[in-house]
Structure 1
Amino acid sequence: MAPRLVFVHGIGGPRDPAAELAHWTTALAAGMRAAGHSALARSLEAAPGAHAAFVSYADLFGRPQAQGGDDAPTEAELLAAFVAELVDEAAEALAEEGGTPEQLRILDHARAEAAPAGQQQGAPDLVRRALNVVTTLLSLRPWDGAGEWITPKLMVRHLGQVSRYLARSEADADGTTLDVRIRARVAAAIGDGPAVVVAHSLGTVVALETLHELRSPVPLFVTLGSPIAMRTVVLPRLRPQPPAVPDGTARWLNFWDRDDVIAVRPRLEKDLAPGALGVRPVSARIDSDGLWVHTATKYLAQAAVAGPVAEALGAAPGSG
């Protein structure tokens, strides 16, 4: 049986699943053509629903928040820590690649804003600190033109979805927490498999945890712009611990763009233990055009991403 393609989105506002499925498959088809798989690209564009499913869960973040347990880290604390680690990752990247004096100055300022003030802070103070840091970070090239697509306030709101998911709180009337409700939607789309799972941003965390619960056969797991390797906030809060590749995953490709403010430098090969099949993640850098590259379609249109997806779906290398 040919595997089904399952897309899992990341941070952001509510989506129209049908429109997003068409948008993602169009981008993936462009990448497939660039990789030499034009026949599959035509088939995918002609009938996206016959080959793929788009998992939408952003609407769940719009519901009223419930209070978590007293011993759980607050969402505001997680948000502040997440933003602080983004700054550290950006600084590490500039140190590796050689930043300009102005870039280094901006990052030093962002680091100072991200540093704890010394006294205990309430949620409003933590959110305000995160907003200040993001405002400074987005002034750093190449992201200084991103205001056309995203404002600091909107970005903080979207980044807050990561902390809300990892807080494992916001139980509904049945006692089911937000993260469990989100994973249930992904699990319904994957089913018993086989499935090629392509996940973006926060969706990479959601998909990883879902695959551990399902243990479905996954010939290929693709992560795009993933925060999984964030060692302070994300990695130690993954479930299950210690972090590992799901047992049913036969191949895991992780793609990152150096201009993606959310994607961290890949360390997944070192940070995740192999699954039952002995698989470890394999990371590769891609370079997209434009100012704001943290969108799934930027990644999907790359031949390096779309080629392996096409082959996993059953297309022969060089077909079409």
Structure 2
Amino acid sequence: MFVHGIGGARNPETERDSWLAALATGARKAGHTAQSTALAQNSLADVAFAYYGDLFTRPQTQGGTSTGVEVGEDEALRQLLQDLIDTELQSSPGESERRILRHARTELTATQQPQGSGEVVRRLVNVCTTLLALPGVRRAGQWASGRLMAGHLAQVTRYLARAEADGEGRTLDARVRDRVLGCLDDDRPAVVIAHSLGSVVALEALHHHDGPIPLLVTVGSPICMRTVVHPRLRPQPPVTPHSVERWLNYWDRDDIIAPRPWLERDVLPNIRGCLPVSDRVDSDGIWVHTATKYLAQASVAGPVVEAIRRAGERASA
């Protein structure tokens, strides 16, 4: 099962196929040629893509939908941006990158001055616009504007706010987890691959799932962001879900969304003694946060293929 991260609306089938293609590339690099072909043809195992992106859209007053930042969400987003900027500054970037980050930090500090909430949101969008000048972010084309970047990053804080209840009283985070749990079967083992915000969603959802999870893979995870994410996770303190038998976490040093990669330092073991094991990957290209960049790595795809094979043996035993 694939669990996606932040971003706008997407076609689940198209995304599933692109993730499978990337995983097939990684499997081939890892020496699993036959499995690589089967993955590319979507015939190695049953595959589910847990899609919840549509839940983050909300009506606009003039019709249509919006994924932007609302008044009342500004402080959590400010903290998230501060976490990202400060961590990047500590990673010894080049002088041009440091100038951009320092400028963004100055703009961010200005949001702490007394002012109207609408003005705070505008300033946070300006911070994101400044961050778009970072070479890797700019050339990647991930976000067309600071407002779009802010809206997508705010999906993390909106999920963790435990608010935005629907007509039945189900909060946004609960509805997102329901999408993930709806793709799982208690009677069948499942290999779960979760990216970005999806790693937070999967971690929490799997606490409500009793079926076997022989392997959980998290890539580009913000779980260890100490200001915004880690203290808001449920349960507290964060612990590996009881159904998870093995947890592999991958990070890239150039991934600004995964600034603190060592999950095993911040997550308790489950009753099996399972802890996340973190490993670094080095992706090619400019923007390395995408799930497909991670899945195309041999070190990521190899264990996934092996876990799928073992899960199939268990299911047929």
TM-score by length of 1: 0.88
Q: Percent identity?
A: 56
RMSD: 2.1
Tell me the residue number matched to 1:280.
275
Secondary structure of the 1:253 match is: strand
- Written as runs of structure 1 = structure 2, the 5 A alignment for 1:22-41 is 22-41=17-36
Q: 1:114 to 1:49 in 2, by over 3 A?
A: farther
Q: In the alignment, which of 118, 139, 162 is matched to residue 156 of structure 2?
A: 162
Q: CA deviation at 1:29?
A: 0.6
Tell me the residue number matched to 2:305.
310
Matches of 1:81 and 1:115, distance apart in 2: 11
Q: CA deviation at 1:93?
A: 1.7
Whether 1:55 and 2:53 are equivalent positions in the alignment is no
The farther-off stretch of 272-281 and 42-51 is 42-51
Q: 1:74 touches 1:167 (CA, 8 Å); kept in 2? A: no
Q: 1:149 to 1:291 in 2, by over 3 A?
A: farther
Matches of 1:175 and 1:49, distance apart in 2: 39
The farther-off stretch of 303-312 and 105-114 is 105-114
Q: 1:175 to 1:234 in 2, by over 3 A?
A: same
Q: CA deviation at 1:285?
A: 1.3
Q: 1:245 touches 1:274 (CA, 8 Å); kept in 2? A: yes
- Written as runs of structure 1 = structure 2, the 5 A alignment for 1:30-179 is 30-47=25-42, 50-64=45-59, 74-94=72-92, 99-115=93-109, 117-147=111-141, 150-179=144-173
The farther-off stretch of 118-127 and 79-88 is 118-127
Paired residues in the alignment total 300
Secondary structure of the 1:156 match is: helix
Q: 1:220 touches 1:251 (CA, 8 Å); kept in 2? A: yes
Where in structure 1 are there 5+ consecutive unaligned residues? 1-5, 66-72
Q: 1:43 to 1:115 in 2, by over 3 A?
A: same
Q: CA deviation at 1:118?
A: 4.3
Q: Which has the higher contact order (CA 8 A, sep 6+)?
A: 1
List per-residue Cα deviations over 1:49-85 (Å, max 9, x = no partner).
95211011001111349xxxxxxx9422211111111
Tell me the residue number matched to 2:182.
188
Matches of 1:121 and 1:219, distance apart in 2: 50
Secondary structure of the 2:91 match is: helix
Matches of 1:241 and 1:111, distance apart in 2: 30
Q: 1:122 to 1:250 in 2, by over 3 A?
A: farther
Secondary structure of the 1:79 match is: helix
TM-score by length of 2: 0.88
Q: 1:254 to 1:122 in 2, by over 3 A?
A: farther
Q: In the alignment, which of 16, 21, 27 is matched to residue 21 of structure 1?
A: 16
Q: CA deviation at 1:151?
A: 2.9
Q: 1:40 touches 1:315 (CA, 8 Å); kept in 2? A: no
Q: 1:87 touches 1:107 (CA, 8 Å); kept in 2? A: yes
- Written as runs of structure 1 = structure 2, the 5 A alignment for 1:221-232 is 221-232=216-227
Where in structure 2 are there 5+ consecutive unaligned residues? 61-70, 312-317
Q: Which amino acid aligns with 1:143?
A: V
The farther-off stretch of 146-155 and 199-208 is 146-155
Q: CA deviation at 1:208?
A: 0.4
Q: 2:222 touches 2:260 (CA, 8 Å); kept in 1? A: no
List per-residue Cα deviations over 1:138-170 (Å, max 9, x = no partner).
322333323475432211111111111111111
Matches of 2:116 and 2:157, distance apart in 1: 16
Q: CA deviation at 1:123?
A: 3.4
Tell me the residue number matched to 1:3.
none
Q: 1:55 touches 1:186 (CA, 8 Å); kept in 2? A: yes
